[in-house]
Structure 1
Amino acid sequence: MSTTRKLFQQTAVYGVATVLPRVLTVLLNLLLTTFIDTRQDFGNLSIIFSWIIIFNVILTYGMETSFFRFYSHSKSKKKVLSTSLLGLLATTTLFTIIAFLNLDNIELWSGKNSEYWRWVIGVLALDTLMVIPFAYLRAQGMARKYAIIKMIDVVISFVLTTFFLVFLSDIPVIQQWFPTDKVELFFIALFIPKIFLLLLLIKPYFHIEGFDFTIWKQMMKYGTPILVAGLAFAINETFDKQLIEWLSPGNSTAQAGLYTACYRLAVGMTLFATAFKLGVEPFFFSESKDKNAPQLYASITKMFVILGAIALVFYITLIDVVKLAVIDSDYYEAIFIVPYVLIAYFFFGIYQSLSVWYKVTDKTKYGAIISVFGAIITIAANVLLIPKIGYLASAITTCVAYGVMMIVSYLWSRKHFPIPYDIRSILLYLLLSIGATVVIFYLIRDSYGAGSWQQYVYGLSISLLVSAFILVREKNFILQLLKKNDS
Structure 2
Amino acid sequence: MNVLKTFLKDTVIYGLAIVLPRLINFLLVRLHTDVLPNEDYSENTEFYVVAAFFNVILTYGMETSFFRFFSRNKDKNKVLSTAMITIVLSTLFFGILLFLFRIPISETLRINTDFYTLLVGITLIDTLIVIPFAYLRVTGRPIRFALIKLINVLIIVALNVLLLSKSFGLKGLKNVFNVNNDVEYIFIANLIASAVVLILVSPYFFKTKFQFDTSILKQLLNYGWPIMVAGLAFVINENLDKWLLPELEGEFINGAYSACYKLAVFMTLFIQAFRMGAEPFFFNHADKENAQQTYATILKYFTIVGAIGLMIVVVYIDLLRPIFIKKESYLLALDIVPIVLLANLCLGIYHNLSIWYKLTDRTRFGMYISLIGAAITIAFNLIFIPKIGFMASAYATLMAYGLMMLISYLLGRKYYPVPYDISRIGIYLIISAGLSFITYYYFDRDILLGTVFLLLYLALIVFLERKELKLLLKRS
Q: Tell me the distance in 2 between the aligned counterparts of 1:94 and 1:19.
A: 33
Structure 2, unaligned stretches of length 5 or more? none
Q: Tell me the distance in 1 between the aligned counterparts of 2:355 and 2:473.
A: 21
Say if 1:30 and 1:325, in contact at 8 Å, map to a contact too: yes
> For residues 374-453 of structure 1, what are the structure 2 equivalents within 5 Å?
374-444=373-443, 446=444
Partner secondary structure for residue 176 of structure 2: coil
> For residues 196-207 of structure 1, what are the structure 2 equivalents within 5 Å?
196-206=196-206, 207=208
In the other structure, the counterpart of 2:191 is 191
Q: Tell me the distance in 1 between the aligned counterparts of 2:472 and 2:244.
A: 44
How far residue 18 of structure 1 moved from its aligned partner, in angstroms, is 2.1
Say if 2:162 and 2:170, in contact at 8 Å, map to a contact too: no
In the other structure, the counterpart of 2:211 is 210
Aligned pair in 2 of structure 1 residues 483, 348: CA closer, same or farther (>3 Å)? farther
**Residue 468 (str. 1) matches residue 459 (str. 2):** yes
Say if 1:116 and 1:183, in contact at 8 Å, map to a contact too: no
**Residue 224 (str. 1) matches residue 222 (str. 2):** no
Say if 2:56 and 2:228, in contact at 8 Å, map to a contact too: yes
> For residues 83-482 of structure 1, what are the structure 2 equivalents within 5 Å?
83-167=82-166, 170-178=169-177, 179-206=179-206, 207-248=208-249, 252-329=250-327, 330-444=329-443, 446=444, 455-481=446-472
**Residue 32 (str. 1) matches residue 23 (str. 2):** no
In the other structure, the counterpart of 2:21 is 21
Task: Spell out, residue by residue over 1:295-315, the C-alpha distance to the aligned partner (whole angstroms, 9 max, x if none).
Answer: 111010011011112121112
Amino acid at match of 2:253: Q
Say if 2:162 and 2:168, in contact at 8 Å, map to a contact too: no
Q: Tell me the distance in 1 between the aligned counterparts of 2:470 and 2:75.
A: 39
How far residue 482 of structure 1 moved from its aligned partner, in angstroms, is 6.1
Amino acid at match of 1:24: I
Q: Tell me the distance in 1 between the aligned counterparts of 2:96 and 2:472.
A: 51
How far residue 363 of structure 1 moved from its aligned partner, in angstroms, is 0.8
More displaced stretch, 98-107 vs 25-34: 98-107
> For residues 75-90 of structure 1, what are the structure 2 equivalents within 5 Å?
75-90=74-89
Aligned pair in 2 of structure 1 residues 317, 150: CA closer, same or farther (>3 Å)? same
Q: Tell me the distance in 1 between the aligned counterparts of 2:103 and 2:306.
A: 46
**Residue 47 (str. 1) matches residue 46 (str. 2):** yes
How far residue 171 of structure 1 moved from its aligned partner, in angstroms, is 3.0
Q: Tell me the distance in 2 between the aligned counterparts of 1:482 and 1:278.
A: 24
Say if 1:106 and 1:114, in contact at 8 Å, map to a contact too: no
Amino acid at match of 2:260: C
Q: Tell me the distance in 2 between the aligned counterparts of 1:70 and 1:484.
A: 33
Amino acid at match of 1:411: L
How far residue 94 of structure 1 moved from its aligned partner, in angstroms, is 1.0
How far residue 175 of structure 1 moved from its aligned partner, in angstroms, is 2.6
Partner secondary structure for residue 27 of structure 2: helix
Say if 2:122 and 2:191, in contact at 8 Å, map to a contact too: yes
Amino acid at match of 1:381: F
More displaced stretch, 365-374 vs 102-111: 102-111
Q: Tell me the distance in 2 between the aligned counterparts of 1:475 and 1:201.
A: 45
Q: Tell me the distance in 2 between the aligned counterparts of 1:114 and 1:271.
A: 32
Normalising by structure 2, we get a TM-score of: 0.96
Aligned pair in 2 of structure 1 residues 483, 243: CA closer, same or farther (>3 Å)? farther
Q: Tell me the distance in 1 between the aligned counterparts of 2:352 and 2:469.
A: 18
Say if 2:163 and 2:170, in contact at 8 Å, map to a contact too: no
Amino acid at match of 1:328: K
Q: Tell me the distance in 2 between the aligned counterparts of 1:422 and 1:407.
A: 14
Task: Spell out, residue by residue over 1:319-356, the C-alpha distance to the aligned partner (whole angstroms, 9 max, x if none).
Answer: 11221122232211110000110000110111110111
How far residue 256 of structure 1 moved from its aligned partner, in angstroms, is 1.5
Say if 2:155 and 2:193, in contact at 8 Å, map to a contact too: yes
How far residue 481 of structure 1 moved from its aligned partner, in angstroms, is 5.0
Say if 1:89 and 1:129, in contact at 8 Å, map to a contact too: yes
Q: Tell me the distance in 1 between the aligned counterparts of 2:473 and 2:366.
A: 30
Say if 1:47 and 1:256, in contact at 8 Å, map to a contact too: no
Say if 2:299 and 2:349, in contact at 8 Å, map to a contact too: yes
Q: Tell me the distance in 2 between the aligned counterparts of 1:396 and 1:151.
A: 34
Task: Spell out, residue by residue over 1:153-211, the C-alpha distance to the aligned partner (whole angstroms, 9 max, x if none).
Answer: 11110110111112597233333212131111110000001111111111121234221
Aligned pair in 2 of structure 1 residues 208, 325: CA closer, same or farther (>3 Å)? farther
Partner secondary structure for residue 409 of structure 2: helix
Amino acid at match of 1:278: M
Say if 1:16 and 1:147, in contact at 8 Å, map to a contact too: yes
Say if 1:96 and 1:125, in contact at 8 Å, map to a contact too: yes
Say if 1:83 and 1:212, in contact at 8 Å, map to a contact too: yes
Amino acid at match of 1:141: G
Say if 1:4 and 1:484, in contact at 8 Å, map to a contact too: no
How far residue 69 of structure 1 moved from its aligned partner, in angstroms, is 0.2
Say if 1:67 and 1:80, in contact at 8 Å, map to a contact too: yes
Say if 1:72 and 1:286, in contact at 8 Å, map to a contact too: yes
Q: Tell me the distance in 2 between the aligned counterparts of 1:273 and 1:170.
A: 39
Say if 1:236 and 1:398, in contact at 8 Å, map to a contact too: yes
Partner secondary structure for residue 177 of structure 1: helix
Task: Spell out, residue by residue over 1:68-106, the C-alpha distance to the aligned partner (whole angstroms, 9 max, x if none).
Answer: 000000011001000111111011111111111222222
Normalising by structure 1, we get a TM-score of: 0.94
CA-based RMSD of the aligned residues comes to 1.5
Q: Tell me the distance in 2 between the aligned counterparts of 1:97 and 1:482.
A: 55
Aligned pair in 2 of structure 1 residues 351, 481: CA closer, same or farther (>3 Å)? farther
How far residue 110 of structure 1 moved from its aligned partner, in angstroms, is 2.2
Aligned pair in 2 of structure 1 residues 230, 479: CA closer, same or farther (>3 Å)? farther
